[in-house]
Amino acid sequence: MTSTEEPGDAVRIADPARPPWREPGMPALLAMTTFAFAGFAVMLPVAPMHMVALGGDEFLAGLVNAVLMLATILTQLVVERMRTWMGWRVSLALACVLLGLPAIGEIFATTPGQILALAAVRGIGFGIVTVSGSSAVGALFPPERRGRAIGAYGLAVAGAQLVLTPISPWIADQAGLPVALAVAALPLAGIPFALAAGSAIAKHARATAALLGGAGPVRDPLETPREERRALVRLWPPILALTVVTCAGGAITTFTPQFVPDAVLTVVALFLYTAAAAFARWAVGGPADRLGARRFVLPGLAIAALGLAAIAASIAGIAGPAAPALLIAGAILVGTAFGTMQNVTLVRAFEVAGEHAKGVASTAWNVAFDAGTGIGALAIGALAAGTSFALSFAALSALCLLAGILLLLIGQRERSAAV
């Protein structure tokens, strides 16, 4: 396909003076992302609640989001190849369909098996939208602007979650599960924006190809599996840091309605957790561009460990009457760490993988993100079923500390070798 676009289209998209959310293609991408993640945000706590309502225990409740994330990860491994023959428009619209329709189907679900099957379908849609979204940001913006761009994208991801994740358990409790599940069909409203965003991203690719003297879309120049493996080896430090923090996020969003007996406190804790994550992911973008994303990884792990320890102490009743305040403080700290790590680890992944391997970096980052979320839901559910939620969150706190120590030691060894 020969481009009919002017090379100036690519230059306009790289305009450093324009705010990232005003770049061509970004408004539609952000709108689609908001609707897509709205459905995901509702179902993350509501689907496990539905499983419990049908008689499932803590393990089965955790299994719902674990199945979701397993399907997500398996899909993420093939999204980049799939999009080469489906195109941006079809793949983004399909993601919205697969995220929205299962929520309507779950209104009629009557068995745990049906809930798990629908979670798997949602996972396919979520796998498409997560890899495609971060790949789109990596494609639309040059390295020196990605911190702010990822921050803007993160606001779209978190915007609907800020409202719907904390309030959806309350909606299910007060208005009934069918109402909450109907709200979870919001990704269907994102289909028109998905089509528009897909067109804009494809246009950008053609314009960039024309600017570089080529014809057709720009393709990833990775030529051999060996080169891909080399990129993956360089990615493991930010991927490790992201995974342990998303384990904590998966545990909080899945089980807060179970380990917090008060419905109002559940809403407040989830709202502040999500708000802190949204603000941190946006706010850290500029400093990460100026100072380097690597500087924020270890502090993020330390903040997560402190917040998880506070939640564990609150659940255990160590703080007595101050337990609710301790829970809120812990939720804010973990949310801050979660949002920070979402931004800086993605920026870092693009950095260490190299410009030639942005697709590999996007896929690996999204797989780690969702693997951590699923592992957190499944492992904490299994551990809590045999022990307690307090011990489970204490174990997560220790895991964050261990990961931070390991990365600190690796960093010191790398600096020593460079001298």
- pLDDT single digits (tens) 311-370: 999 998 887 888 899 999 999 999 999 999 988 998 888 887 776 666 778 788 888 887
Selected residue with higher pLDDT from 217 and 115: 115
Alpha-carbon gap, residue 109 to 115, rounded angstroms: 6
In a domain, 14, yes or no: no
Nearest to 198 by CA among 152, 255, 133, 147: 133
Mean pLDDT of 197-226: 60
Q: What percent of the chain has pLDDT over 90?
A: 33
> Band of the pLDDT at 15, cuts 50, 70, 90?
low
Residue 93: pLDDT above 90?
Answer: yes
- pLDDT single digits (tens) 242-279: 999 999 988 888 788 778 878 788 888 988 998 898 88
In a domain, 12, yes or no: no
CATH number for position 391: 1.20.1250.20
Alpha-carbon gap, residue 113 to 116, rounded angstroms: 5
In a domain, 5, yes or no: no
Contact 308, 400 (CB under 8 A): yes
Task: Provide the pLDDT for residue 104.
Answer: 94
- pLDDT single digits (tens) 230-245: 666 778 888 999 999 9
Going 250 to 252 to 253 to 256, the CA torsion angle's sign is positive
Task: Provide the pLDDT for residue 167.
Answer: 85
Alpha-carbon gap, residue 144 to 347, rounded angstroms: 10
In a domain, 242, yes or no: yes
In a domain, 124, yes or no: yes
Alpha-carbon gap, residue 49 to 19, rounded angstroms: 40
pTM: 0.71
Domain tally, the chain: 1
Which residues form the domain of 315? Answer: 19-216+225-418
Alpha-carbon gap, residue 369 to 283, rounded angstroms: 20
In a domain, 10, yes or no: no
Contact 131, 362 (CB under 8 A): yes
Residue 209: pLDDT above 50?
Answer: yes
Between the CA of residue 305 and those of 19, 135, 381, 382, what are the distances in Å? 34, 30, 19, 21
Task: Provide the pLDDT for residue 367.
Answer: 84
Around Cβ 81, how many Cβ atoms within 10 Å? Answer: 11
- pLDDT single digits (tens) 357-382: 667 787 888 888 878 887 887 888 88
Going 353 to 359 to 360 to 365, the CA torsion angle's sign is positive
Packing angle of the helix pair 225-259, 146-174 (nearest 10 deg):
30
- pLDDT single digits (tens) 353-362: 776 666 778 7
Q: What percent of the chain has pLDDT over 70?
A: 83
Residue 12: pLDDT above 70?
Answer: no
Task: Provide the pLDDT for residue 293.
Answer: 82
